[in-house]
Amino acid sequence: MHYRFWAFIAQALTGRRRVYLDSNATTPPSRKVRQAMARAAKYCWGNPSAAYAEGKKSAQLIEKARRQVAQAINAHEHEVYFASSATEWNNALLKTLYHNSAQPRRKIISTRAEHSSVSRSLAYLAAHGADIAYCPIDRHGHIILAELGQLIDSSTLLVCCALANNETGAVQPMAEISKLAKTHGALLMSDCVQALGKIDVDVKALGLDYAVFSAHKLYGPKGAAALYAKITSPLEAFIHGGGQEEGIRAGTEAVPNIAGMGRACSNAKRLAGRAAKTELLKNELARKLMEIEPAIKFNSPSANCLPNTINITFPGTKSTELMLMLDYYGIAVSAGSACGAQPGKTSHVLSAIGLSDAEAASTLRISLSSTTSRADISYLCKKLEAYLKQARS
């Protein structure tokens, strides 16, 4: 409501409307998050490692945020560790787990559709001799469980698979994956960055050993991320120094960012509770787009998908042109994942689900936010319809 009010005022004053439909790239920090961060910056500036009052105040705020993250994902607070980004955790966890593994468990199983912070860490490990196996996925990015069953064995150290894909929105059958991993004594790590705040994430019910979360995907700040590591699962230090974060990730803590992450996570369940409304809007968008251009191809699955994410190929168009045209009219969408977007380079996720280079270059990802309205969807469709009509004529 607050957001819509100010969007309305901004539009009235400038004559320009902004419709933000790229929530999988990032989200704006909510008012409550900004307030929590401002309070932390003002009152909790003491070094959290100091034993006097100023330090203790900062340390207490960090512990509060740790409890807030733990509650959001059904973990114990001793199982939550902070760092600066999910990229940092994905790198650190994969590399330390592999470097500290011993024969016979040296194999890591993953998919070709992971975020680049996972896929490039795996490529790095492969270049250093690791045995990385890629489990096939289907047309929409879901892991093929029967294939995983074939790959996994007593040499498997780790299965690594995102709970929800950032480009297609495919949500993996994680509890099933966990059963397979446990049967063979393998560890299970999941990049849950896109899931928290969009769907329920219960690390215990999903049977995870490790999970990674990033604050800026759920209306928190950039520069804060959390790792869940099950109390009984191995975890090694990767930044050595002053002993912060149980010595796992040393360095003086970014107290305002961590406080902002805690505040954002305390709202995660409420956000996920709005999923049904968001999904209705997404389905309405899909219906309208089909009417406008029956040749479009949906790359997101119709079931087991994030409620806010839709990935669509518009044959015969260039997604960069579509994106720029929409931006001109005040609409933000993605022509590929923001983190991996490199001009002229096909998204590895779209290639992994079988799209040709030409199809991938005609593909948009639209990711709704908790404030997206029906008017926003109509506005987007109107602009796309006009563009496609003109392109065909």
Interface residues with ligand PLP (CB under 6 A)?
85-87, 115, 117, 162, 166, 191, 193-194, 214, 225, 339
Residues with Cβ < 8 Å from 171, sequence gap 6 or more?
A: 163, 164, 165, 195, 199, 304, 305, 306
The enclosing H or E element of 309 equals strand 309-313
Q: Which two tokens stand for residue 355?
A: 């799209």
Task: Find residue 132's DSSP bridge partners.
Answer: 108
- Measured from the CB of residue 63, what is the shortest distance to ligand PLP in angstroms? 22
* 117 or 372: CB nearest ligand PLP: 117
Q: Which two tokens stand for residue 363?
A: 């593909």
- Measured from the CB of residue 131, what is the shortest distance to ligand PLP in angstroms? 23
* 239 or 339: CB nearest ligand PLP: 339
- Measured from the CB of residue 306, what is the shortest distance to ligand PLP in angstroms? 11
Cα separation values, 306 from 43, 142, 171, 250, 286, Å: 38, 12, 6, 34, 14
In terms of DSSP H, where are the helices of 217-347?
255-265, 268-273, 275-292, 319-328
One-letter amino acid for residue 54 of the chain: E
Centre a 10 Å sphere on the Cβ of residue 149 and count the other Cβ atoms it contains: 14
Sheet of 363-367: strand order equals 297-298, 309-313, 363-367
Whether 271 contacts 197, CB under 8 Å: yes
Backbone angles phi, psi at 359, to 5 degrees: -65, -45
* 114 or 293: CB nearest ligand PLP: 114
C-alpha 217/C-alpha 202 separation (Å) is 17
What burial letters (b/e) apply to 329-358, b meaning 16+ CB within 10 Å? bbbbbbbbbeebeeeeebbbbbebbebeee
* 196 or 285: CB nearest ligand PLP: 196
* 30 or 84: CB nearest ligand PLP: 84
One-letter amino acid for residue 335 of the chain: A
- Measured from the CB of residue 194, what is the shortest distance to ligand PLP in angstroms? 5
- Measured from the CB of residue 196, what is the shortest distance to ligand PLP in angstroms? 11
Strands 19-20 and 80-83: unpaired
- Measured from the CB of residue 86, what is the shortest distance to ligand PLP in angstroms? 3
Which residue among the candidates 44, 161, 192, 339 is catalytic per the annotation? 339
- Measured from the CB of residue 24, what is the shortest distance to ligand PLP in angstroms? 6
C-alpha 316/C-alpha 76 separation (Å) is 51
- Measured from the CB of residue 230, what is the shortest distance to ligand PLP in angstroms? 20
CA-nearest of 248, 290, 257, 274 to 370 is 274
CA 319 to chain centre: 22
* 172 or 194: CB nearest ligand PLP: 194
C-alpha 234/C-alpha 231 separation (Å) is 8
C-alpha 373/C-alpha 370 separation (Å) is 9
C-alpha 170/C-alpha 141 separation (Å) is 6
* 70 or 306: CB nearest ligand PLP: 306
Residue 161 annotated as catalytic:
no
* 166 or 317: CB nearest ligand PLP: 166
- Which residues are designated catalytic? 339
